[in-house]
Amino acid sequence: MTPRQIVTELDRYIVGQFQAKKAVAIALRNRYRRSKLSQADREEITPKNIILKGPTGVGKTEIARRLAKLVKAPFLKVEATKYTEVGYVGRDVESMIKDLVEVAIRLVKDERYKEVEARAMDIALDRLVEVLLKKKDELPEGINKQTLKDELANHHLDQMLVEISVQDNPKPVELQPGAGEINLGSIFGDMLPKKMKKRTVTVADALKIFSAEESEKLIDLDSVEIEALRRAENDGIIFIDEMDKIAGKSSNNGPDVSREGVQRDILPIVEGCTVSTKYGIIKTDYILFIASGAFHVSKVSDLIPELQGRFPVLVQLDSLSVDDFVKILTVPENAITEQYKKLLAVDNITLSFTEDGIREIAVVAYEQNNTLEDIGARRLQSIMEHIVEDISFEITSDGAPRNVVIDKAYVENNFRTESRNLKKYVL
């Protein structure tokens, strides 16, 4: 995708913030450009990491969420506050690289599963036919193997119950917080026979279980791991949210004792180092890092200088205007007004919004953000919940259809004049 196409795709869900979308789109396109260069040139070109700075609720995290669905590359979103300095109990920053590799493994596995899907399903059907033929007394008289396979393939027996044997895979155990998980069953590898257990499931579920087992046998796990490590190294993207919470000088007491320490630990990861994972060694030199934060209390300059230098692209996101709020209420495919329409339609309530009603909601949101704390688009959730509170509560037991129109007068009567106190809705 070209940068403009990426921005257009993000515009479907996120209003405004063109500069942030542009920076992210260019960074993604540069990954593609680098992949087309010679090996020697690729080693010299490293990604230009980005910091997204702006108030809460203006679209920083939403850009990351939509980006994850848009790109086919390994993508991981983490919170900077979840990590602790080495020496403290908790997750160390290397675990974000290990998590990225796990994402890459799932991504490549899903692709390989699709390649063998038809073959795996055919083998799964044969296995299920063998199981069902052992219960001939419950099947129609005179049914043969091929007829039964056709019936299964056409989903005519999906609700029938069947007892199957499946592998009993023990769940991984976390020895201590942040230390990773260990699968006790894998310690002895293949020395011991696989443990099986009986399960009674529907034919539809049995087909899924058998298909998954056969897919696992048909793919080469070694090549999956090699490809996943390559993708994580060269195409991986890590979005570090709440970066501002670890900025600032650390004090010698209280909960902030490891803030600067976390920055120091993140530094080598962003600079480029090697991290050992259970699938092999991965270099972090070419992973793209996108950091974001409100930076209300602290500033970007409060980060340690070395870390600032590793995020050369700084993008300032703007506070939302009245027009932005109007667009948020009307333009996105998942607009909050559409969500409330669908929710109330369950109780036969037809909710509609007039243009002046939507603009009045936008004006109220803008004023509240200016007079109280600026929480961006999240303010709309507070206001909308307040406006439809009585409509949601006053429903009839017989479910009689109702039409409710939210216009400017309705917003003023049910919100402004009644009460301007939103304390119970403020996030």
Sketch out the chain's domains with CATH numbers: 3-106+235-316 (3.40.50.300), 117-218 (no CATH), 322-416 (1.10.8.60)
Structural tokens at position 343 = 């929710």
| pLDDT given at position 231 | 92
Residue 224 binned pLDDT confidence (cut-offs 50, 70, 90)? very high
Q: Is 118 exposed, middle or buried (0-12, 13-18, 19+ CB in 10 A)?
A: exposed
Residue 71 binned pLDDT confidence (cut-offs 50, 70, 90)? confident
Q: What is the mean pLDDT of residues 419-423?
A: 50
Helical (H) or strand (E) element with 164: strand 161-167
Q: What is the mean pLDDT of residues 183-200?
A: 65
pLDDT (tens digit per residue) in 332-375: 878 899 999 999 999 899 999 999 999 999 999 998 888 888 88
Q: Is pLDDT of 124 > 80?
A: yes
Residue 417 binned pLDDT confidence (cut-offs 50, 70, 90)? very low
Q: What is the mean pLDDT of residues 44-69?
A: 86
Residue 418 binned pLDDT confidence (cut-offs 50, 70, 90)? very low
Nearest Cα to Cα of residue 54 among 16, 82, 25, 28: 16
Q: Of 179-188, 226-235, 286-295, where does mean pLDDT reach its minimum? A: 179-188
State the chain's mean pLDDT as an integer. Answer: 84
Q: Which long-range contacts (CB under 8 A, 24 or more apart) does 265-271 make?
A: 265/83, 265/85, 265/86, 265/92, 265/93, 266/80, 266/83, 266/93, 266/240, 266/307, 267/304, 267/306, 267/307, 267/310, 269/93, 269/94, 269/96, 269/97, 270/49, 270/307, 270/310, 270/311, 271/306, 271/310
Residue 285 binned pLDDT confidence (cut-offs 50, 70, 90)? very high
Q: How far apart are CA 177 and CA 257, in angstroms?
A: 19
Residue 390 binned pLDDT confidence (cut-offs 50, 70, 90)? confident
| pLDDT given at position 419 | 43
Q: Is pLDDT of 389 > 80?
A: yes
Q: What is the mean pLDDT of residues 123-130?
A: 87
CA atoms within 13 A on the CB side of 133: 14
Q: What is the mean pLDDT of residues 93-100?
A: 92
Report CA-CA distances (Å) from 99 to 28, 110, 272: 20, 17, 17
Residue 171 binned pLDDT confidence (cut-offs 50, 70, 90)? low
Looking at the chain, the whole-number percentage of residues with pLDDT higher than 70 is: 86
| pLDDT given at position 184 | 55
Task: Return the residue matching tokens 């403009």.
Answer: 4
Q: How far apart are CA 35 and CA 112, in angstroms?
A: 22
pTM of the predicted structure, to 2 decimals: 0.80
pLDDT (tens digit per residue) in 263-283: 888 999 999 999 999 999 999
Q: How far apart are CA 376 and CA 368, in angstroms?
A: 10
| pLDDT given at position 170 | 65
Residue 162 binned pLDDT confidence (cut-offs 50, 70, 90)? confident
Beta bridge partners, 83, equal: 91
Q: Is pLDDT of 249 > 80?
A: no
